């Protein structure tokens, strides 16, 4: 049977789904308003890291064009608190992660999709286009919240606790920051002010550093989200350096101030905010056809934990497998999809929302947990690698009792193995 699948949006979710379907003999159509050649001249889209589970899916799709040996990073440094002596520790990843500027990544995958026989249609969708898209396809997948289609899916109040952004974001690609001896993400926490995630990122000129600066509204760092680089670049950089010295001094120490600037020019900065939201996974369109929400349309998370694109890729594969396996795209089809994807999607949303709330105040149970991570490398390694598996992180953080048990069980097991080894020796 010729399955007609329409995909709205050419982001990670839409492209991974489209490439997966092509591998299984289904030729979908992706609708997007951006041509590949337009990306190079656009403003920074985001600062996205792909964890190893997503890179493995890219390997399956044959689109791992940026080998981790050259473009990847291998762990996380953590710094909690500012001067005079921040708590610091490190966690290793079992397999490397990688960040590539999406102005390079997305057009490269679009070209590959089209090269393999996928159809790309360039148009800005309007409300009156919905009926026509439904008529042309057996199933419609909506991966972008832009335009009328993304607004069709109602949010789920039980999983959408915020009505506004929890952080005022200032995100950019910068040069003049030295890399660690072994490439790694660095996560900085300034309680009461915000967080910053530093990500080694491949951009147009090579490896640069993304700074994802998450500023608590009303706090000392919020000004970074409101001050425009274009108005006065030198003044903006001076302000940023001042705030980095105050709140993230271990980053400021690695900056060459003569070279420090946006990596590729004034389009390398993005400011604003994200309201974390989970929406219904599907709707029934007029006429009975199904539209499925995917990626940011189904669940959008704050970027503080780097879960959005990885969650979208995972859900795209689940949806693709069900499209290939099934032949009727009805309510029962969507039940299969949602049962398989919801644990990771909700795990990423809940864990991210938990951290957004608790990093502001650092309650005692979180401080105790962080202290144990800092003193036991085995715990920090497992915690770091579980950025690949947000549902495992939520298994840990869903309650105070679970946070305590997560550490205690692992430490008891470690002590038991050490005892056995001593006896055997």
Per-residue pLDDT of the chain (425 residues; tens, 9 = 90+): 589 999 999 999 999 999 999 999 999 999 999 999 999 999 999 999 999 999 999 999 999 999 999 999 999 999 998 666 789 999 999 999 999 999 999 999 999 999 999 999 999 888 788 889 989 999 999 998 776 777 889 999 999 999 999 999 999 999 999 999 899 999 999 999 999 999 999 999 999 999 999 999 999 999 999 999 999 999 999 999 999 999 999 999 999 999 999 999 999 999 999 999 999 999 999 899 999 999 999 999 999 999 999 999 999 999 999 999 999 999 999 999 999 999 999 999 999 999 999 998 899 999 999 999 999 999 999 999 999 999 999 999 999 999 999 999 999 988 777 665 666 66
- 274 — phi, psi (to 5°)? -125, 130
Q: Which CATH class is domain 168-272?
A: alpha beta
Tokens of 52: 């190893």
Which residues partner with 170 through β-bridges?
A: 213, 271
Tokens of 181: 């001896």
Question: What DSSP element (H or E) covers 280?
Answer: none
Evaluate if pTM is beyond 0.85. yes
| Residue entry with tokens 């915000």 | 194
Q: Architecture of 5-66+101-162+275-356 per CATH?
A: 3-Layer(bba) Sandwich (3.50)
Rounded to 10 deg, the angle between the 377-385 and 364-375 helix axes is: 110
Question: What DSSP element (H or E) covers 278?
Answer: strand 277-278
Q: Domains of the chain: which residue ranges? A: 5-66+101-162+275-356, 168-272, 362-424
Which residues partner with 142 through β-bridges?
A: 8, 293
Rounded distance, CA 48 to CA 243, Å? 23
Tokens of 27: 């030729």
**Quick check: 277 and 269 in contact, CB under 8 A?**
no
Tell whether omega for the bond before 84 is within 30 degrees of 0, i.e. cis: yes
DSSP code string of 194-218 = EEEEEEEEEETTEEEEEEEEEE-TT
Nearest to 319 by CA among 102, 111, 57: 57
**Quick check: 190 and 247 in contact, CB under 8 A?**
yes
């Amino acid at each position: 049977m010729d399955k007609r699948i329409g995909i709205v949006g050419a982001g990670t979710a839409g492209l991974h789904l489209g490439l997966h379907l092509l591998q299984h003999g289904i030729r979908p159509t992706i609708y997007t308003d951006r041509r590949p050649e337009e990306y190079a001249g656009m403003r920074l889209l985001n600062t996205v890291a792909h964890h190893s589970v997503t890179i493995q899916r890219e390997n399956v799709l044959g689109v791992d064009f940026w080998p981790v040996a050259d473009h990847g990073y291998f762990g996380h440094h953590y710094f909690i608190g500012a001067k005079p002596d921040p708590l610091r520790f490190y966690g290793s990843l079992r397999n490397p992660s990688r960040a590539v500027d999406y102005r390079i990544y997305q057009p490269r995958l679009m070209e590959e999709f089209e090269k393999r026989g996928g159809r790309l249609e360039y148009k800005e969708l309007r409300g009156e286009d919905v009926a026509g898209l439904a008529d042309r396809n057996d199933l419609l997948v909506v991966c972008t919240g832009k335009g009328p289609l993304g607004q069709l899916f109602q949010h789920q109040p039980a999983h959408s606790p915020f009505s506004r952004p929890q952080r005022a974001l200032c995100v950019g690609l910068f040069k003049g920051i030295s890399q660690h001896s072994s490439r790694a993400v660095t996560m900085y926490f300034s309680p009461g002010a915000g967080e910053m995630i530093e990500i080694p990122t491949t951009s147009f000129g090579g490896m640069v550093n993304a700074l994802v600066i998450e500023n608590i509204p009303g706090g000392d760092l919020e000004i970074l989200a409101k001050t425009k680089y274009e108005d006065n670049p030198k003044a903006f950089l001076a302000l940023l350096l001042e705030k980095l010295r105050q709140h993230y001094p271990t980053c400021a120490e690695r900056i060459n101030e003569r070279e420090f600037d946006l990596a590729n020019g004034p389009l390398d900065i993005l400011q604003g905010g994200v309201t974390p939201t989970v929406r219904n996974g599907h709707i029934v369109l007029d006429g009975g056809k199904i539209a499925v929400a995917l990626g940011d349309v189904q669940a959008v998370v704050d970027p503080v934990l780097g879960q959005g694109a990885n969650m979208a890729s995972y859900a795209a594969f689940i949806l693709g497998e069900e499209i290939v396996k099934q032949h009727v795209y009805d309510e029962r089809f969507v039940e299969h999809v949602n049962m398989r994807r919801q644990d990771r999607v909700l795990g990423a949303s809940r864990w991210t929302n938990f951290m957004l709330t608790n990093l502001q105040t650092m309650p005692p149970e979180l401080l105790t947990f962080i202290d144990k991570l800092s003193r036991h490398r085995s715990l920090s390694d497992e915690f770091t690698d579980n950025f690949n598996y947000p549902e495992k992180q939520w298994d840990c953080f869903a309650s105070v009792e679970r946070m305590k048990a997560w550490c205690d069980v692992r430490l008891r097991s470690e002590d038991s193995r050490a005892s056995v080894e001593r006896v055997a020796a």
